[in-house]
Amino acid sequence: MRTLVVNPGSSSLKLSIVDGGLQVAARTVENWDGSPDPRPLQDVLAVSGPVDAVGVRIVHGADRDGPHLLDDDQLRALEELVPLAPLHQPRSLALARMTADLLPGVPVFGCFDTSFHTGMPAHATTYPVPREWTERFGLRRYGFHGLSCAYALRTAAGMLGRATEELNLICCHIGAGVSVTAISGGRGVDTSMGFTPLDGVAMATRSGGLDPGLLLHVLRVGGLSTAEVESALNYRSGLAGMSGTSGDVRQVLAARAAGDEHADLAIRVYLHRLRREIAAERVSLDRLDALVLTGGVAEHEPALVAELLDGLTHLGLAVAPDAGLGVGDRVISPDGARTRVLVVEAREDVEIAHEIDKARFAV
């Protein structure tokens, strides 16, 4: 089945045609402003020809498990989640509507980053706040980057010669957004992101987890509105806020190499919080078969990955001296290491097409 995959990010739009698990056409719009421009879609369709289905990556699906056909009722329901994923959700829904208009008669599915985590145990999803809040506001840990985790799990299983259900993994998606997920039995069992994609480790422009008292103090003393605080935490925090750069890790590393002390501290905080979360996720597994690193930073910054792993030797994790020479999906731990370390290319497009194939076949 030939599937058009629409993958909107916070700063780019990735379009691809996947047929039989292989990408046969692709187009990426860099520095994308979020506008639902039909021309990139028309360009990739002109190359590929007709498609059988469309899959749109949607960051927040609440408790939806697996792909859902995006009819008007579904789209209206997903609009209610926009405040929980303001960087991505509005763009995904606008693109879903535009694609449906461009391709009448072709089913448009939403594939959700939250679905992979829907089976997490209650002790991992429940927040220690008044039960009245939990019930009234629907508070729970949802988790994100699930499509990336699902693809990384399937790929790691192939690389290790094991069934997905047999593996205990920690999957780190390290891109502009960063998350760490413990995986057992083929599903996420704990994860760093929470009710929103703002929780967890420090990211390019997002703060990650913070002391709630800090936010109360800023609101009370600084006279800021909740909208101002929300904007700062999503767009002006993380690497960007600490270093004074755009938050692109390449810029921060370049500034650090030039002697910028703020950039140096930003990288040290970034790595410390990532290591701390990896160690925390280890508690949710009775053993660890492999650490899987995916996402643009993990794939293309081998020196930073080596620095990350240098602080994780107490967990039995290490990187081979020649690991920086590899490309593509690869093992970067030394030969004979008890716990393997893998780098897997992030292919959410292939995972989306795979999930739609499964859903349509099941029907």
Residues 6+ apart with CB under 8 A from 136: none
322 labelled as ligand-binding?
Answer: no
Report DSSP letters for 264-330, one per residue: HHHHHHHHHHHHHHHHHHHTT-SS--EEEEESHHHHH-HHHHHHHHHT-GGGT----TTGGG--SSE
- Which one from 65, 71, 72, 113 is the annotated catalytic residue? 113
Cα–Cα nearest to 202, from 243, 155, 256, 143: 243
175 labelled as ligand-binding?
Answer: yes
DSSP state of 347: -
Cβ count within 10 A of residue 72:
9
Active-site annotation holds for 113:
yes
C-beta separation of 192 from 141 below 8 A: no
316 labelled as ligand-binding?
Answer: no
Amino acid sitting at position 63: D
What span, in angstroms and rounded, lies between the C-alpha atoms of 272 and 294? Answer: 18
30 labelled as ligand-binding?
Answer: no
249 labelled as ligand-binding?
Answer: yes
174 labelled as ligand-binding?
Answer: yes
Please report, in range form, the residues annotated as the binding site for ATP: 173-177, 248-250
What residue numbers does the annotated binding site for Mg(2+) cover? 348
Binding residues: 57, 173-177, 248-250, 348
Q: What are the residue numbers of the active site? A: 113
Annotated binding site for substrate: 57
